Structure 1
Amino acid sequence: MKEIWVNEVPVKETVPGYKGRFIHTANMTFAYWDVEAGSVSPEHTHPQEQVAKVLEGSFELTIDGETVVLEPGKIVVIPPHVKHGGKAITDCKLLDVFYPVREDYRSL
């Protein structure tokens, strides 16, 4: 068993305003984000399935042309290779879970 304290994982900024802490298992990546209000994640795709959850705040997410507002308690599943992007309406804390592992986040 390996215990990990999220607040001890190094912070990496992937795009302006998106500061993430990445935890990798053999099969998944957990990304804990602190996002500044107004920060935008440009539209993109990746081969991983993604589960997105807002822990604090409000986040606008567009998936394949359909926009939803995520707040605590709401989860969305983004299939592999589907275009998506978002914007923090307020300061946010987010959790994204990816399967399989986001190798590009390992190298940050």
Structure 2
Amino acid sequence: MPVFDLSGIAVKEIVPGYAARFIHTESMTLSYLDVAAGAMLPEHSHPHEQVSHVLEGEFELTLDGVPVRFGPGSVVVIPSGVRHSGLAVTDCKLMDVFNPVREDYRAL
């Protein structure tokens, strides 16, 4: 049974202000993010189903043009192919889970 210590995983900046640590399993990618207040995530889509959980702070996610703010304990499911973008309203800690594995993140 693999056990991971996040403090031992190298940080990768996926876009400015989004520092991520990744864990890849056979079928999923888990992304633990520290996001700076004001950091923007450009609009994009991907074939992966994504589950986003705000651990700390306030985050605004725009799904198909509709902005939604959420805070600690909130979980949002983003279906495959749906266009979305984000804005850290405050400093945030987020956890994203992707299925299947994000090979582009594995390559970082």
Would the TM-score normalized by the shorter structure come out above 0.5? yes
Tell me what 1:18 maps to.
18
The TM-score, its normalising length taken from structure 2, stands at: 0.98
Q: Give per-residue Cα distances to partners, 1:13-63, cap 9 Å, x unaligned.
A: 011000000000000000000000000000000000000010000000000
Superposition map of 1:1-108 within 5 A? 1-108=1-108
RMSD: 0.5
In the TM superposition, what is the alpha-carbon distance from 1:65 to its structure 2 partner? Answer: 1.1
In the TM superposition, what is the alpha-carbon distance from 1:7 to its structure 2 partner? Answer: 1.5
Query: Aligned partners of 2:96, 2:70: CA distance in 1, in Å?
Result: 12
Contact 1:13 1:19 in 2 (8 A): yes
In the TM superposition, what is the alpha-carbon distance from 1:8 to its structure 2 partner? Answer: 1.0
| % same residue | 60
What is the count of residue pairs matched by the alignment?
Answer: 108
Contact 1:53 1:70 in 2 (8 A): no
Contact 1:22 1:32 in 2 (8 A): yes
